[in-house]
């Protein structure tokens, strides 16, 4: 992941790779509201900072 000043939108697959979980788990986290995501067309994008925040909470 990049520095705090430079943020990127990640795909569900990229988030799953960073979190070391399946893509289905990422979709479940999005649907439950535990992980914030932005809808882009028919897919989701997640801000890097939101992934970091989730991981800091220790729920992955």
Average pLDDT over residues 37-45: 96
- In this prediction the pTM is 0.82
At 7, the pLDDT band (50, 70, 90 cuts) reads confident
Tens digits of residue pLDDT in 45-59: 999 999 999 999 875
List the domain boundaries for the chain. Answer: 9-57
3-state SS record for the chain? CCCCCCCCEEEHHHHHHHHCCCHHHHHHHHHHCCCCCEEECCEEEEEHHHHHHHHHHCCC
């Amino acid at each position: 992941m990049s520095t705090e000043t430079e943020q990127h939108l990640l795909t569900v697959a990229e988030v799953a790779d960073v979190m070391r979980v399946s893509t289905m788990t990422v979709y479940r986290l999005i649907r439950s509201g535990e992980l914030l995501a932005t809808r882009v067309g028919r897919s989701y994008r997640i801000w890097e900072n939101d992934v970091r925040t989730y991981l800091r909470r220790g729920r992955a």
